[in-house]
Amino acid sequence: MIIAKYFVEFIVYSFLGWVYECTYCSIKSRHFSNRGFLYGPVCPIYGFGAIGCSIVFGNFSLTIGGKTPLWEIFVICAFGSAILEYATSYFLEKRFNAMWWDYSNTPLNLNGRICLPATLGFGLAGMLIVKFVLPVSESIKGQMEPVFAEILALFLMGVLAADTALTVQSLVDLTQKLDNFELGFNNKVEENIKAIYEMPGEIREKYEAFTAKLTQRQKYALFSIKGYTSQSRSYMAARVREYLENIGSKIKKSLPEKTQDRSGDLK
């Protein structure tokens, strides 16, 4: 029963973390940015962090009675978030040879996995969660019916497991597709192409054929991943993203209808 309630709480915080990530990144990029490792609207790293706070501060009643000073809460949350973020980044990179975030250009970073500004921000967020969100969460969790909590937890667990399995398979397939994507032209030449119409037709057809085979999950992953450990794979992923964002849509809208065959493929 307790585990079921914690799992439901984990999903709720993961969803709220996803909302925060999407909102922050969308404002920063000035267009909607769907974030997260999984395809569904959850960021598990936020769920793990919040559950950690719930166990340490809620279950042990360190803060409900006001016994733990704010500075101590801040230090524990900041330090814990740094460990969690670094460990998650390391695991994802080793497992998928990809990076979902990179702080390399941020001051005071450690291997691009964590940075002081983000760690301080998570420390402040942890203080807010512990002081204002946890009391409400603990109250709701205490009033939740055990049977309802177990049924809801099993349902959410099934959805999360399916999403995880499909996401992992999509990432593996996407990596293989990128590695097998042979364009047959000089990368330096392509980098110098500025106008859409200057892209050679043969290259355009290869891009069109490649992107047509990508699933929605793979396109989502392509835009979520910041880079790969392989330089050539990172290059190809960046070029495909560029095509999907700009070139492909503009070519389809701008070229005369006679340049398309009956099936609608570009020639």
Task: Say yes or no to pLDDT of 163 above 90.
Answer: yes
Residue with the bigger pLDDT between 87 and 192: it is: 87
**Under 8 Å CB-to-CB from 172, ≥6 apart: which residues?**
none
Do residues 48 and 10 make contact, with C-beta atoms less than 8 angstroms apart? yes
Q: Tokens 């309802």 — which residue?
A: 148
Task: Say yes or no to pLDDT of 12 above 90.
Answer: yes
Task: Say yes or no to pLDDT of 150 above 80.
Answer: yes
Tell me the domain boundaries of the chain.
Answer: 1-164, 167-252
Do residues 207 and 181 make contact, with C-beta atoms less than 8 angstroms apart? no
- Segment 72-85, tens digit of pLDDT: 899 999 999 999 99
Residue 30's pLDDT band (cuts 50, 70, 90): confident
Distance CA 6, CA 51 (A): 7
**Cα-based angle 10, 113, 91 (whole degrees, multiple of 5):** 60
Distance CA 155, CA 140 (A): 19
pTM of the full structure:
0.81
Across 54-108, the runs of DSSP E, i.e. the strands, are 98-99
